[in-house]
């Protein structure tokens, strides 16, 4: 019994010594590091970005790269510009060309931008993004749907999963296949422009638009 008690106290003492040693190392061998980076954008712009100071060990520095940024040599970062607004998990986010979440979208930014939804984002080493094998397909969808906004015909909302587009004035268009968007001509815009508020249409695979309500 005494032997077991001795072993238990010995283990506790070792843990206490290790904790004290770690505390001593943290106190005497760490320093405050100012995180100042030169940030480049895809458009060639550059500016300085200051992050809050952090404690780092003298022999090892943890460099935390914010989501949506790529670390370059010499305290430099490449910032991938925000392109689209996605609604996901009860929040609106700015997403870049690689469909990585990089920031929250402000309420006043929602009015003049198309809102996309119907995708899941997954944690990939701290960066939330869609699956890599979906990037080309989703890029095709967002580029085609964003190009539909012409003149007085403006898109408000795109549900990628359910193939559903909502134009201004609450006009709904349901699509069977996204590739059908390649067949859209001027008659499509004329119908949408002249239709009543909250009208509903179906876009068939031959590019024909049928009003259902």
What pTM, to 2 d.p., does this model score? 0.65
Residue 197 tokens read as 């508020």
Choice between 150 and 64, residue whose per-residue pLDDT is larger:
150
The pLDDT-based confidence of 160 (bands split at 50, 70, 90) is: very high
What's the whole-number average pLDDT of the chain?
78
Q: Which range among 21-25, 41-45, 138-142 has the greatest average pLDDT?
A: 138-142
Residue 92 has a pLDDT of 92
Choice between 51 and 182, residue whose per-residue pLDDT is larger:
182
Cβ atoms of 160 and 141 closer than 8 Å: yes
Residue 61 predicted with pLDDT over 60: no
* Domains of the chain (ranges, CATH numbers): 2-79 (no CATH), 82-211 (3.40.50)
- Model confidence over 83-107: pLDDT tens digits? 889 999 899 998 888 888 888 888 8
The pLDDT-based confidence of 116 (bands split at 50, 70, 90) is: very high
Residue 168 predicted with pLDDT over 60: yes
């Amino acid at each position: 019994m005494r032997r077991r008690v001795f072993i238990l106290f010995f283990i506790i003492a070792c843990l206490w010594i290790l904790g004290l040693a770690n505390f001593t190392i943290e106190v005497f061998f760490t320093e405050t590091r100012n995180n100042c980076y030169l940030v480049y954008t895809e458009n060639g712009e550059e500016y300085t970005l200051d992050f809050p100071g952090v404690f780092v060990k003298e022999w090892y520095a943890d460099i935390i790269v914010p989501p949506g940024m790529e670390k370059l040599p010499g305290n430099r970062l490449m910032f991938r510009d925000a392109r689209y607004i996605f609604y996901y998990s009860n929040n609106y986010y700015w997403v870049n060309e690689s469909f990585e979440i990089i920031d929250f979208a402000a309420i006043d930014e929602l009015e003049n931008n198309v809102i996309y939804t119907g995708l899941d984002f997954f944690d990939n080493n701290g960066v939330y993004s869609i699956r890599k094998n979906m990037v080309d397909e989703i890029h095709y969808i967002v580029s085609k749907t964003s190009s539909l906004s012409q003149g007085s015909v403006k898109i408000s909302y795109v549900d990628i999963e359910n193939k559903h587009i909502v134009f201004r004035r609450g006009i709904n268009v349901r699509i069977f296949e996204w590739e059908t968007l390649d067949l859209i001509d001027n008659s499509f815009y004329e119908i949408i422009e002249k239709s009543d508020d909250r009208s509903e249409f179906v876009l068939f695979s031959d590019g024909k638009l049928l009003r259902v309500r």
